[in-house]
Amino acid sequence: MNSWNDPLDLNAGWLTGLTDLNTERDNVRERIADYLTDLLGIGFSGFRVDAAKHIHPDDLVSIFTKLRRNLGGAFPPDFITWWEILLGGEAQMLMCDENSGYNYGAYIHDALISAGVSSDDVDKVKIWNSGYPKEPHADCGSISLWRNVIQNDDVDQQNQGSSSRDMGDQGTVLVISKNVPLHRSFEVKLFTNPNGAGSNDNDYPIRTLLSSYYFPQNEARGIPDGWSDCSLCTTTCSGCQTVTFQKAFDPNSCGYDSPQINQYTRTHRDKSIIMAMRQWVHLPTDVSNADLGLPSNC
């Protein structure tokens, strides 16, 4: 990538290690829409589109319009898709200026409406607000807060030195800072009083929480799922670094497990965060640990 502000570079540039699909071709769009239809048929409720800014806005509109056609002309009531549009200096082009020729804000909204997608179904097409929490209005208000997806630390920030998002003093990356009280406070805030929200009940209906894992001291970056063990390597094994297996589910975890080698963080099992979530969606908070699936000592 030579320029993040060049639509041609964003759309046609090659990303290392990834195969580029020619989504400008109608038959490719049809195949993708058919594949998504099959996934919904086996129980999926929706999709996250990674690196969506590397797919032309018109191509995405076409793909999801075809998907909607395959489903009988409407998305299911519980359908959701959210597109990862990572903003930086190119926010003006990608979100703010609907006439930029490469815009995922008002342009996408209007293009979906023009393609016959109902307003209710357009609301099911969410955009990841990468400006949150430091700059929640980085999109210049080009889409409604109902269509924003927000979160604190994300998967692209887990490596030391990552500059994918600047959270300033409004967020922290748990596996890097290892500051549990600070991280917990930001996650609770995500569900009780997120930056940029005018109404906690009506704004930001999709808020995502990352449970990650700590990297081992040998600088390996594999997943502790048992498949990152060098004993399984058969080709090009020089320099292989093992990440030993850790069972992901631990019924005795209270969340924020100690930052040990390969240890999962299990942030989603923290009782303070669970209660903040329940309060947000108006569920009772006077419930036992057993009802929450937590051990009694949490």
Count helices and strands (H / E) in the chain.
10, 5
Residue in 26, 36, 143 with CA at minimum distance from that of residue 80? 36
**DSSP per-residue letters across 93-158:** IIII-TTSSS-SSHHHHHHHHHTT--HHHHTTEEEE-TTTTT-TTTTTT-S-GGGEEEESS-GGG-
pLDDT digits (tens, 9 = 90+) for 240-292: 998 889 899 999 999 998 776 668 899 999 999 999 999 999 999 999 999 99
What domains, with CATH codes, occur in the chain?
1-128 (3.20.20.80), 156-298 (no CATH)
Predicted local distance difference test score (pLDDT) of residue 44: 96
Predicted local distance difference test score (pLDDT) of residue 157: 63
Residue in 126, 132, 129, 91 with CA at minimum distance from that of residue 108? 126
CB 42 within 8 A of CB 85: no
Within 13 Å and on the Cβ side, how many CA atoms surround 193?
Answer: 2
CB 257 within 8 A of CB 265: yes
Within 13 Å and on the Cβ side, how many CA atoms surround 107?
Answer: 20
Residue with tokens 């080698």: 261
Residue in 241, 243, 274, 246 with CA at minimum distance from that of residue 258? 246
Predicted local distance difference test score (pLDDT) of residue 261: 61
User: Rounded to two decimals, what is the model's pTM?
Assistant: 0.89
Low-confidence ranges of the chain (pLDDT < 50): none
Quick count: other Cβ atoms within 10 Å of Cβ 242?
Answer: 16
287: its two tokens:
């419930």
Predicted local distance difference test score (pLDDT) of residue 161: 62
End-to-end CA distance of the chain: 47
Predicted local distance difference test score (pLDDT) of residue 112: 98
